[in-house]
Structure 1
Amino acid sequence: MKIFNTLSNKKEEFKPQIAGKVNMYVCGPTVYNYIHIGNARSVIAFDTIRRYLEYRGYEVKYISNFTDVDDKMINQARKENVSVADLADRYIKAFVADTTALNIKPATFNPRATEEITDIISFIKVLIAKGYAYVVDNDVYFRAKKFTKYGCLSGQNIDELEEGASQHISVEEQKKKEDAIDFALWKGQKTLDEIAWNSPWGKGRPGWHIECSVMSTKYLGNTIDIHGGGQDLQFPHHENELAQSEAKTGQKFVNYWLHNGFVTVGEKQEKMSKSLNNFITVHDLLKKVDPQVLRFYMSSVQYRKPINYTEDGLKQAEAVLKRYKNILRNIKERLSEKNDVSDSDLAERLIDAKKKFIAAMDDDFNVQNALSVMHELTLHVNVHLNNDFIDHKNLHDFVQLMDEWLLIFGVKITTEMENDDTIQKLVDQRNLARQNKDWATSDQIRDELLAKGIILEDTPQGTRWHHVKA
């Protein structure tokens, strides 16, 4: 298996520290609002990666945090006249509800920054003792230049970073910092109504970057196999995480850095973000869209590539899922027939498809190529189903294979057949009309059923029906 490592900017052979086990940390949401589908893209991308690793036999320890204190949290809490804790609780519940609907596997653990304050303070103390951090008034800053590899993850030139940073900080902050690129580990309380904790440097709260360093190393160890997040986190968040973590432990922080592409919208394909006010929340979208369709749509593009969100894209994803459901339903019907035959060609195609699927996903989780394998196999099985005799064993194997593969994409298709006597009577009447070549009555019954949301399929084995939304 090869994975594209942002740190080396190339694909590398994946070798976890412990054979058969993977430690994985993914930056979670700042819980001050509902997540939009740009946020959901990261959650879905890394859940898909996790599911594939488990499909390949790895035991995955998956940690994803909640940032439940920062400037956005404080500002939103003030705006709503609620406490930061109450705001966080509300949107954590909303996040869980939305991601459950999208069939995201629960993390092994979701640490919250506000519950790790003691460990955050201890972490900062070590950085101060090692000379990597310094105190100014009630604030604590990290000496970025002292960490000689600073900029290695994002490929940034430190002099250019310094020049850019100096243009974006206030005069007051400029006076506090030894260098413009230094970043806050601890922020002293500015007003009495601001949430704060006691520390050796006075009342205050942690900086954003330090939270993830503490939570990832606390629950996964000093060196992590995989660290994931959106491309927008590569700098400064992940760059700062790497610097302060390795400065503290003296060990490599992450072996494989993975960053997912953005969700874009509109003709200009702008990045979806709250700051541009061009976002759609998952909470609102799920009122209109089948969660499985949205999940499949967001899973069907390789994680590093951008997704341009469109309604047409959703419709295409829905159509693909319907095709999969139809073939699985047709197989279920035909397996009830006593017409078994051995088909060596079908058996070989199943074996070949599994090899190709794994080869595609082993190549940096190339879901598009994997879906192409599934599509080609489905076409061949459809042809086989038109035969008078079918291979029961290999069709059973195909169903199992499709169930396993679709679950990697977070999709679980049910093929329970509808059983409605009224509908079946109309289908029987239409069949009789067709036998009598009464096409007007046949079409009338078809239209009547379609108005009820029922689709008919005329096959060599007879007429089948199912609901439009099935």
Structure 2
Amino acid sequence: MHAWPASEVPALPGQGRDLRIHDTATGGPVTLDPGPVARIYVCGITPYDATHIGHAATYNAFDLVQRVWLDTKRQVHYVQNVTDVDDPLLERADRDGVDWAALAEQETALFREDMTALRMLPPRHYIGAVEAIPGIVPLVERLRDHGAAYELEGDIYFSVESDPHFGQVSNLDAAAMRLLSAERGGDPERPGKKNPVDPMLWMAAREGEPSWDGGSLGRGRPGWHIECVAIALDHLGMGFDVQGGGSDLVFPHHEMGASHAQVLTGEFPMAKAYVHAGMVALHGEKMSKSKGNLVFVSALRRDGVDPAAIRLALLAHHYRADWEWTDQVLRDAEARLGRWRAAVSRPDGPPAEALVEEIREALADDLDAPAALAAVDRWVGLQEASGGTDTGAPGVVSRAVDALLGVAL
């Protein structure tokens, strides 16, 4: 599966700061110090109803992570998956009377278009669950053969008790885990499971549903969590720098994925930091596919909204915050974009070197994009109030905003 084209990232003078970011597992900040190549895995979409603003907010956060690392003169090895076979996708295809594979292809193509328009840097490896199946099957067989998985009516489940570190990503108690498992694709009430939250690794073939040859597992399809584990281990290995996604992935997805990987490799932890973006609401409720209260990037673009304004609307909120999309949020972003573009089109302005450092400092401090935007606002305000004499300053500001915030002026 191919990703989308990369926009050019301007080179800036000097060098960025190492990233200090909130780690869900420890509940506090960690300063990441990758080697020459920083490694990040971000969970991708299940391709139906793409791309809504909640998606965009999540991928914007991890785009900033990449930009901070690139500014430190590191390379970035970024991997993202596409869950192109799963129950929600099959249910939507059945509801709409369309082929599930065609729906997945259509929505993935739309996602690529939106990511390109928003200037999100693409992953080096963009892998679909279906194409990952040949690498998933041996992992499930290994877990089963080592006693970390068991069969239940043809399905294969992972035993969470096989990982001594289980629970150390989410730090939830058993009752909370059981509740979230039921809400987020698990089956805690199924009789015969060793632990109610044990997740499925391999689902035996169901009539009328797609299935693949699973070798000794029989025909079926992979569970959700093992998909990401197989892709991450294949392309990044253990101990990569950041595992990222929305906060709704903390449990069960990232908890289970970590346990799968840790049992498979005998190493801990799977990732040095677990980083999660907040949820976006609309009309007082979390934006979600099940509720249908979605604002789509593609619809905004069709209505003539500049993608740079959409990106500024996202950047105006701290990535970890839960916030609400409103018409006013977009109007504010459009006004800000207009002021910034007017400023960099003028022939001169106040010196901008200090501004570049302010943006760097803000982003290195747990991706504080609102503080970075405020710093640019101050420079623009000074220029509007008293002009300036530095003829190179507007160009410096334009390049910094592009390189570090992903906004083309």
* TM-score, with length taken from structure 2: 0.88
Partner of 1:174: 191
Say which is worse superposed, 193-202 or 238-247, in terms of deviation. 193-202
Q: Deviations over 1:109-156 (max 9, x none)?
A: 210110011110011111112211112232100001221222211111
Contact 1:166 1:180 in 2 (8 A): no
Name the structure, 1 or 2, with higher relative contact order (CA <8 Å, separation 6+): 2
For residues 56 and 120 of structure 1, the distance between their equivalents in structure 2, rounded to whole angstroms, comes to: 35
In the TM superposition, what are the counterparts of 1:235-384 in structure 2 within 5 Å? Answer: 235-251=251-267, 252-266=269-283, 269-288=284-303, 289-331=305-347, 346-347=350-351, 350-384=352-386
For residues 26 and 166 of structure 1, the distance between their equivalents in structure 2, rounded to whole angstroms, comes to: 23
Deviation at 1:169, TM superposition (A): 4.2
Q: Deviations over 1:54-88 (max 9, x none)?
A: 12322111111110001112222333444332221
For residues 345 and 181 of structure 2, the distance between their equivalents in structure 1, rounded to whole angstroms, comes to: 59
Partner of 1:186: 202
Deviation at 1:50, TM superposition (A): 1.5
* TM-score, with length taken from structure 1: 0.77
Partner of 2:3: none
In the TM superposition, what are the counterparts of 1:106-255 in structure 2 within 5 Å? Answer: 106-158=122-174, 161=177, 169=187, 173-175=190-192, 177-191=193-207, 193-199=208-214, 200-251=216-267, 252-255=269-272
Partner of 2:14: none
In the TM superposition, what are the counterparts of 1:82-121 in structure 2 within 5 Å? Answer: 82-121=98-137
Contact 2:41 2:80 in 1 (8 A): yes
Q: Deviations over 1:309-368 (max 9, x none)?
A: 11111111111111111111222xx69xxxxxxxxxx55xx3433333222111111111
Partner AA of 1:174 in structure 2: P
Partner AA of 2:282 in structure 1: V
* Equivalent residue in structure 2 for 1:8, among 26, 37, 45: 26
Residue 166 to residue 218, structure 1, CA distance change in 2 (3 Å): closer
Deviation at 1:160, TM superposition (A): 5.6
> Which one has the largest radius of gyration?
1
Contact 1:74 1:84 in 2 (8 A): yes
Which runs of no fewer than 5 residues in structure 2 stay unpaired? Answer: 1-18
Task: Give the number of equivalent residue pairs.
Answer: 386
Deviation at 1:161, TM superposition (A): 3.5
Partner AA of 2:300 in structure 1: L
Q: Deviations over 1:134-186 (max 9, x none)?
A: 12232100001221222211111236645886998486x213x1221211000
For residues 342 and 353 of structure 2, the distance between their equivalents in structure 1, rounded to whole angstroms, comes to: 23
For residues 300 and 179 of structure 2, the distance between their equivalents in structure 1, rounded to whole angstroms, comes to: 42
Which secondary structure does the structure 2 equivalent of 1:134 belong to? strand
For residues 166 and 85 of structure 1, the distance between their equivalents in structure 2, rounded to whole angstroms, comes to: 26
Which runs of no fewer than 5 residues in structure 1 stay unpaired? Answer: 336-345, 414-470
